[in-house]
Amino acid sequence: MTLNPALDLELTRLVAASPAQIWRCWTEPELLKQWWAPKPVETVEATLDLRPGGRFATVMQLGAQTFPTEGIFLDLIPRQRLIFTDALHEGWRPAPEPFFTAILTIAPEGDRTRYTARAMHRSPEDRARHEDMGFHGGWGTALSQLEALAITL
């Protein structure tokens, strides 16, 4: 799957945790809740039905405001790749407000792990909107939180 610079955003970094540790942080709700939102935002709910078509939903909270997200997993290769989207909801129904598909890949590289998160959009406008929402900062901060948690597992 080739990156399309007009439609995609990508964050890639070498992290100290192993693929198995990173996979646990992504797939266990109680771990996901600890790193998924860049602090001071908190993830207060996480539903992960880990199969193609299974629901992936979270609720984030900042002060009195809550931010629900809703989508499904599309493809899962344990400790290697995870794909999910908000363009479809549970039961494969088209979502009212589709925004992006995310492809997470993790692979050993030397004594560390290459972590790459790609967000694919419908249009250059949506890509720009995601960038303006703080994709690099937000996903980057969350990744640092993930790494700090993962190495303790």
Residues binding a second copy (CB under 8 A): 1, 4, 7, 52-53, 74-75, 83, 85, 87-88, 91-96, 98-101, 103, 120-123, 126
Residue 28 or 126: the one with the smaller Cβ distance to a second copy is 126
Judged by CB, which is closer to a second copy: 53, or 134? Answer: 53
Give min distance, CB of 4 to a second copy, in A: 8
Nearest approach, Cβ of 147 to a second copy (angstroms)? 26
- Nearest Cα to 116, choosing from 73, 80, 78, 69? 80
- Closest by CA to 82, choosing from 116, 112, 32, 31, is 116
Tell me if 69 sits within 8 A of 98, measured CB to CB.
no
Q: How far is the CB of 117 from a second copy (least distance, A)?
A: 14
Strand-strand pairing, 100-109 and 112-121: antiparallel
